Chain A
Amino acid sequence: MTTQALFGQLLIGLINGAFYALLSLGLAVIFGLLNIINFAHGALYMMGAFVAYFLLQWAGLGYWWALLVAPIVVALVGTVLERTMLRWLYHLDHLYGLLLTFGIALVIEGLFRNEFGSSGLPYSIPDALRGSYNLGFMFLPTYRAWVVVFSLVVCLTTWYVIERTRLGAYLRAATENPTLVQAFGINVPRMITLTYGFGVGLAALAGVLAAPIYQVNPLMGANMIIVVFAVVVIGGMGSIMGSIVTGFALGIVEGLTKVFYPEASSTVIFVIMALVLFVRPAGLFGRTA
């Protein structure tokens, strides 16, 4: 085992962890207020990557524009979905929300697969982020460093906004007791719509970040989302900081497993999930329901 390989896998793990964290953070924000597990999250992550691809192909807008525009476009799609469909299910069992978003995910993924097949479309790294740093013991590609740092910043900013600002306080209050918050004159239905939009916007942002690493592929979300669900269960559903910490940590654990016991690398997260459930049924950071 060379240290080169060890740090190489550690870095890949950290990158995956960044995506896990961004995606599970979005799921946590949505779950907190809407009480639904957004099965369409993976499809919207994929859509984010595709919007980046379209921007480049059709409008000639590069990576930096995509980083700004793709989350907004996908967030708009999300608000439309929330307004036209999800809204009608709030008075029902929350499982219907899961089933609805599952159906939406199938439709979106089917449409993209129909149009673009199952093979990936290339998306190149922006010029400013090419090259790599020589750290002495390994080469660190600039783009990968950027992904880790940028997603960490986004995650922590989201945490700060939700836990430390007035807007976040409204959000947390509405999570606890929507009726009472509405009675104070805050437009809770609009807040729900915007929250859903924000959550899926985060997924789209992760999609743009992933595009140069994994290529743009209609199935990229379907492969990712199940692992992210396990991450969410481990972290404790609805916990903001929990999803960030477990996202990064599990990415690293997965990377390390690839080095020491590659056969288990795709199952290790699920094994950890089983163990965590055994000890703490509500997840590491979750409150017992």
Chain B
Amino acid sequence: MATATDTLATPVAALPAATTVPAHQRLAFAAMVALLVVAPFLVYPVFLMKALCFALFACAFNLLIGYVGLLSFGHAAFLGSAGYASAHAAKVWGFPPEAAILFGTLVAAMLGVGIGALTIRSRGIYFANITLAFAQMIFFFAVQAKFTGGEDGIQGVPRGMLLGVVDLRRPYVMYFVVLAIFLLGFLIVYRTIHSPFGQVLKAVRENEPRAISLGYRAEHYKLIAFVLSATLSGLAGATKALVFQLASLTDVHWTMSGEVVLMTLLGGLGTVFGPVVGAFIMIGLENYLATLGAWVTIVQGAIFVVCVLVFRRGVVGELGRLIRKPL
């Protein structure tokens, strides 16, 4: 991996080490926030909430592939198990929404520690393969365990009252809560990759032996990034369960792991805004193609093939190249 001339994230220029946010990124961020604030009054809010949950999921995934160079093919495990945990907590234990989301996120974090500790020593294809297998283990657990409801999933999860005062049953209120959660996650990822910690991650990605020889314990850095990525994926999954009032097997299935790879790849690996753009495109596409059944899979596969063969920078990566600044 270290010797490959074109590692997964190098098509995009490395971000500057400066800790201040460059003007064009501030501008892009402001534009994104403005769009997302106006959007629910123009577009169906449930669609937007779904896209935001996946955008957060993709950002969390991108933290790992874009900045550590690790392709996890099992991220559905974190999304799905957090969804089950928060749905169960809200429905069966009667947790208020903030506690349910926190609990789901915590479950994903612990799972991240467990899986991460076992997998982080491997790299490249091995890492992808092993994370996939672990996710499949979680999937079969979800199929068989009693509390997940098997094929039915956990249905009718109450959204409840946020902090006891904010009624989440109203779609617009729910939307702005989801938006706040997404922005929180987005900023955490942004802060992480622009911190000294993030610089070490990039150093490990570019040349692991050299980073180790400089005295960095590469495995620790990678593990922390993995756990952070799992935690934020969990945050996305826990939120998604409350939005749809449902936790189901779809979210732990390996096709979901593939989907987040596709979103990130399409938007631009290792770009700040790419995963968000990719998630909105893919969710929009799925919405549009929903009536066509199996064609969704075919279109997804075709986009995968095209992206890998000729469009490796992704939408945002290409845009960034056009304006000659990383986005």
Contact = CB atoms under 8 A, between A and B. Distances in A.
Interface stretch (A7-15, A84-92, A180-188): A84-92
Contact of B6 (A91, A99, A105, A106): A91
B126 A237 contact: yes
B126 to A, nearest CB: 7
A96 B1 contact: no
Contact of A93 (B4, B122, B143, B258): B4
B283 interface: no
A214 to B, nearest CB: 19
A106 B297 contact: yes
Interface in B24-75: 71, 73
B235 to A, nearest CB: 26
Counting chain A CB atoms within 10 Å of each CB, the highest count among B1, B5, B128 belongs to: B128
A55 to B, nearest CB: 24
A21 B126 CA distance: 19
Interface in A189-233: 226-227, 229-230, 232-233
Nearest to A116: B294
A266 interface: yes
A98 interface: yes
B305 A103 contact: yes
Given A92-B6, A103-B308, A110-B301, A226 B132 contact: yes
A121 B129 CA distance: 31
Interface stretch (A131-139, A151-159, A162-170, A272-280): A272-280
The majority secondary structure among interface residues of chain B is helix
A178 to B, nearest CB: 15
Interface stretch (B133-141, B191-199, B208-216, B316-324): B133-141
Nearest to A35: B125
Range of interface residues on chain B? 35 or more
A277 B140 contact: no
A271 interface: yes
Given A103-B303, A103-B304, A98 B128 contact: yes
B287 interface: no
A35 B129 CA distance: 13
A278 B118 contact: yes
B286 to A, nearest CB: 13
Interface in B136-181: 136-137, 140-141, 143-144
A4 interface: no
Contacts of B140: 266-267, 270
A266 B144 CA distance: 10
B250 to A, nearest CB: 14
A96 B122 contact: no
B1 to A, nearest CB: 7
Contact of A110 (B73, B297, B307): B297
Most buried by B among A102, A108, A233, A263: A102
B136 A107 contact: no
Give the residue among B128, B134, B140, B294 with the most A Cβ atoms within 10 A: B294
A285 to B, nearest CB: 14
Which of B122, B258, B297, B300 lies at the interface centre, i.e. has the most chain A CB atoms within 10 A of its CB? Answer: B297
A89 B6 CA distance: 10
Contacts of B122: 277, 281
Given A104-B305, A226-B254, A92 B126 contact: no
B320 to A, nearest CB: 19
A95 interface: yes
Contacts of B6: 91-93
A148 interface: no
Given A102-B261, A103-B305, A281-B121, 17 more contacts: A95-B8, A95-B125, A98-B128, A99-B308, A106-B258, A106-B298, A108-B301, A109-B297, A110-B300, A226-B132, A232-B129, A233-B133, A237-B126, A270-B134, A270-B136, A277-B130, A281-B122
Closest 10 CB pairs of A and B: A103-B304, A106-B301, A110-B297, A110-B298, A107-B301, A270-B137, A114-B294, A103-B305, A230-B133, A266-B140
22 contacts: A92-B4, A94-B4, A95-B8, A95-B125, A98-B73, A98-B125, A99-B308, A100-B309, A102-B301, A107-B298, A110-B295, A110-B297, A227-B136, A229-B133, A230-B133, A237-B125, A237-B126, A270-B134, A271-B137, A277-B130, A281-B121, A281-B122
